[in-house]
A and B are shown apart, each in its own frame.
Chain A
């Protein structure tokens, strides 16, 4: 119901701006309803049923990193975003992509998602001794063992980040793609390497161990190669951080965005 009201509100918004040429000109309320339906089929799995983000980015924002204008939003639905988990959605024609894009923009009219805590205090939690920078980089600072977090607020949602901190193995098992961070163990005649898979193909694998050293191994040279599913090198912080610290840390992470 909440969405419906917003949709109607946005229609008014569309109608009011009649001078500028927009790909959304002429769309009706039923177009937006259709866009919402298509969103649920194609987008909700990663971006959340309400677009609030999850494995995919939070779309309930007035500005989207990869879609500065409406045309680029429509285009990226058809083409995907190379180097990210966003695929090309070839089953949408231009009209349907326009309907979905228009619906996504309605999400941006929502009030900004309320943060569970205080991001400024969360920054202190992040920086606390032995904390996150030991493994993660933000804006060039820290150690790059785990994924870089400079724009993690663009890419993930609150609940996914909470899951990543409380139960990182489970959060990881929800992700898609062959190149995602996965713990692997590779045994050569000289010993064993355990770490995060940075990349892999049929002939080689690149692994970063917890010390930050990158190992590039030919699969021919491996005695054994094990993929460790539902496992993460990231410690579980559920029992380490207080509820308030956790909320503040998540709020800080959500504030890390390339496009403010």
Chain B
């Protein structure tokens, strides 16, 4: 009865539920009042064209409403890393570990919530209990659960439409990413390489939940790339796909990033380049066929997966117009590739690293001797969490600036023996991170075509929160110490900050309601929505 009343109130405010067609998703940039997909648009710019909040007035930003996540779902149940989506006046977010909640975007009042039954012994070896958000398509909401189910919910009520088990969580297969919705398909990737899964990218029919195709990121014997593995190593080869990819509707290509090979730190147990670990792959969304790949870190032994957001942009390059994919990698290098062909265009160091002399003309790292993990320990930059990590970068297409939250931290890497056992950590070593005031963080602005740093804003500790640029000339971000802040995109100078009271571990997003721009971030287990009025 209560739910009915709330829905009636919602109706009286002029909306019932979201109806997000594929066309709306393709043209997401043209409706900046919404935030329809994880990174804002298929190009994954995480850029808001809204200008109401800008350099001149951002210092007046105030909390409009806040939403406290359910006590049962915060704390012991996991960490808040969600990017909410907003469509047609409703905000859809996830709460850890795998709860979906719909809120009135005007007031923060809850419309419905859905929680899956979660086994007490759910495996999540290698990552905290997190969920990074939902996908919207037509009148449904799609979520991946920690125990590796993909679930479709009715956007109006939260009722379950379908629920499929993607893979066996007893082997550590898990879903933490926000799915990507394209034309009639829901695309997902897996977490779990720290227990030696063999990962893949899957496409599901959005109406029925039927699996349409699967692309394994670790090739089987005889398949292209299998020559970079020996014996049965591929069976436990890892290559997780745990971050939402990007999509080019014109080229009809999906861009998905692939994680580290398993075991993480003992490369002796898996000789070879270990394709397609630590790579970006371009997939045909109709068939799942791979069109090209580029491996950033061949034979990785530091857990520098490539699970960062691939940002799509077009620019003139050496006299001709190119479609480009940019990625600031965990391995401390910034890369530009031609996204039609996978051709390497450019790479440069954007954060301190001590493992490579640079990149050769094909983009392959020139690895320095003596930089592998050892039994005694070996101090290398960056730390295993990398120069950046899952949290999103942002790209302002008007100023051609690429913003990235950077972790300035080294680690002592250890190598150890390990034998694969089902559902057990398959790591082969570990790290001891440099800590205290030897480590720090920074928001950095790069010229997207040269990768050169324009400015940096220092953070007290290595961050776990992403950034969002806006057409108002701002870059929003957050810190472990609870600061939500806005920087001047031209200079990096802080123009506004707010103490949320809890660590910020999310990517900011923006929307508008009743004509007023809103900025969204979290602190601890609370979601904050800021505005001018």
Contacts and interface: CB of A to CB of B under 8 A. Distances in A.
Contacts of A182: 436-437
A201 B483 contact: yes
A175 B76 contact: no
B294 interface: no
Contact of B437 (A41, A94, A203, A227): A227
25 contacts: A90-B126, A90-B127, A91-B125, A91-B194, A92-B425, A93-B123, A93-B423, A93-B425, A95-B424, A177-B436, A178-B435, A178-B480, A178-B481, A200-B460, A201-B460, A201-B479, A201-B482, A201-B499, A202-B458, A202-B459, A202-B483, A202-B485, A202-B494, A203-B485, A227-B437
B483 A203 contact: yes
Interface of B: 76, 121, 123-128, 194, 416, 423-425, 427, 430, 432, 435-437, 439, 457-461, 479-483, 485, 494, 497, 499
A88 B128 contact: yes
B426 to A, nearest CB: 10
A66 interface: no
A244 interface: no
Nearest to A78: B76
Nearest to A178: B461
Interface in A58-95: 75, 79, 88, 90-95
A180 interface: yes
A45 interface: yes
Contacts of B485: 202-203
Contact of B430 (A75, A79, A91, A202): A91
Contacts of B127: 90
Contacts of A202: 457-460, 479, 481, 483, 485, 494, 497
Contacts of B194: 91
Interface residues of A, number: 25
A176 interface: yes
**Interface of chain A, main secondary structure:** loop
B436 A178 contact: yes
Interface in A165-183: 175-178, 180, 182
B479 A91 contact: no
Contacts of B436: 175-178, 180, 182
A95 B439 CA distance: 33
Contacts of A45: 432
The 5 closest A-B pairs by CB, nearest first: A201-B481, A176-B435, A178-B461, A203-B497, A202-B483
Nearest to B440: A178
B430 A41 contact: yes
Contacts of B125: 90-91, 93
**Interface of chain B, main secondary structure:** loop
A13 interface: no
A41 B431 CA distance: 10
A94 B178 CA distance: 27
A93 B424 contact: yes
Contacts of A90: 124-128
Given A88-B128, A202-B460, A178 B479 contact: no
Contact of A229 (B437, B479, B499): B437
Contacts of A79: 76
A93 B424 CA distance: 7
Interface string A194-205: 000000111100
Nearest to B194: A91
Interface in A206-256: 220, 227, 229
A187 to B, nearest CB: 18
A96 interface: yes
A150 B127 CA distance: 35
B437 A178 contact: yes
Nearest to A79: B76
A92 B123 CA distance: 11
Nearest to B461: A178
A94 B122 CA distance: 10
A45 B194 CA distance: 23
B408 to A, nearest CB: 12
A119 to B, nearest CB: 31
Contact of B121 (A94, A178, A200, A201): A94
Contacts of A229: 437
A77 to B, nearest CB: 13
Contacts of B479: 201-202
Most chain B CB inside 10 Å of its own CB: which residue of A177, A178, A200:
A178
B302 to A, nearest CB: 15
A91 B76 contact: no
A220 to B, nearest CB: 8
A180 B437 CA distance: 9
A96 B121 CA distance: 13
A12 to B, nearest CB: 28
Nearest to B427: A91
A76 B311 CA distance: 39
Nearest to B463: A202
Contact of A96 (B425, B430, B497): B425
A96 B482 CA distance: 33
A197 to B, nearest CB: 9
Given A203-B497, A227-B437, 18 more contacts: A88-B128, A90-B127, A91-B126, A91-B425, A91-B427, A93-B123, A93-B423, A177-B435, A177-B436, A178-B481, A182-B436, A182-B437, A201-B479, A201-B483, A202-B458, A202-B483, A202-B497, A203-B485
A46 to B, nearest CB: 11
